[in-house]
Amino acid sequence: MESKKVYNFAAGPSKVPEEVNTQFVNFIYFQLPAQQVLRQAQQELLNYNNEGASVMELSHRSKTFEKVIETAEKDLRDILSIPDNYKVLFMQGGGTGQFAAIPLNLCPGLKDCSADYLVTGAWSSKAAKEAEKYIKVNRVLPKSDKHVTIADKSEWKLNANASYLYYCENETIHGVEWHHAPEPLPGVPLVADMSSNFLTKPIDVSKYGIIFAGAQKNVGIAGLVVVIVREDLLGKEAGFCPSVLSYKTMADNKSLYNTPNCFAVYITGLCLKWIKANGGLRGMQERCNKKSDLIYSVIDSSNGFFYSPVDKRYRSKVNLPFRIGGANGDDELEKEFLSESAKRGMIQLKGHRSVGGLRASLFNAITIEETQFLANFMKEFHNLKQK
């Protein structure tokens, strides 16, 4: 049965590259007729690598899965040029689990420790609130409820005794993105939540103490979080830090202390192969820039019909919130836009419930052609309402 084609602009779990999503095979670039692809996908799903079992059924202690997870780590190291003094961990609990893992791993004294948090949106705010259960949190930036920009550094209040400086590289809900990493005070490790813009652009890993990212946006499916941690930060966890959240425990056991989400690791491995085959980080950055430019150009040339609330200096290139009919939005116009876009096969364009409006998420797997389709419809909708 032929499946319906949709354009999935979801903020997460998001689209998986079609070369990965339709085949589930190690050699994902064979150009096979559709029927053969489906048969191959079926065979791999039920009988991975001629093991007689699905990858979801394989023991995480088996040599077969050991190769899967080791290859995924190697490919990630290659893509990001991760220095040798960093560990790569595949953990569970998503990005939200890391909100607790960070202070538990970096603040052995807990209540005697403090950390700096750059709150620029919903996710960094949630991370700060979670950290407050364990440590003292210093909110570096002036308080804001709108989250449409990043305060000038002259307004920052950094603490020289902070255990770390935490920030969220891209606020999925509010659409604020750091295009350059913030600079911590000397000796203070930089911790980054990169869940929604991970592997969309080149970064210098050596600037960071810890990087973490939920896989379900740009590099796989839900149920897995990738953690990259500098070795000198291992072994500092609080005494009651759960073993499954301990970076040292996970590093010592090569991410196999407990049963990992084997299938999610497998899919991430395929996505990493896909990224390498499509130009690596430079290729992803080029795609990302072209896609976001397509949508922002429509917004900025619409004479206010489409409205982007975010300061242009900090506009996200992957999560683009916007309103229709002015800054406060016109509910009827936005409902009509969602209804008409759904008829054209475009889904998940509704904004987050906390901010309303609309949002297009242009993660790695979204193609330039799909983004152009959305941009064309936005122009069509604008022209229709101007008559």
Residue 13 has pLDDT above 60, yes or no: no
- Rounded Cα gap, residues 335 and 337, in angstroms: 5
Residue 66 predicted with pLDDT over 70: yes
Is cis: bond before 13, omega within 30 of 0? yes
pLDDT digits (tens, 9 = 90+) for 176-227: 999 999 999 999 999 999 999 999 999 999 999 999 999 999 998 889 999 9
The pTM of the full predicted model, rounded to 2 decimals, is 0.89
CATH architecture under which domain 63-276 falls: 3-Layer(aba) Sandwich (3.40)
Give the catalytic positions in this structure: 123, 193, 217
pLDDT digits (tens, 9 = 90+) for 22-48: 443 333 332 333 333 234 335 567 778
Q: What is the DSSP letter of 304?
A: T
Round to whole Å and give the CA distance between 144 and 132.
19
63-276 with 280-386: one CATH topology?
A: no
pLDDT in tens, 294-352: 999 999 999 999 999 999 999 999 999 999 999 999 999 999 999 999 999 998 899 99
Query: Given this structure, which CATH class describes domain 280-386?
Result: alpha beta
Tokens of 156: 């920052």
d(CA 310, CA 327): 11
Domain chopping of the chain, boundaries:
63-276, 280-386
Which 8-state DSSP code applies to residue 16? Answer: P
Place of tokens 């009827």: 332
DSSP per residue over 234-267, as a string? TT---TT--GGG-HHHHHHTTT-SS---HHHHHH
pLDDT at 33: 31
Q: Does the pLDDT at position 277 exceed 80?
A: yes
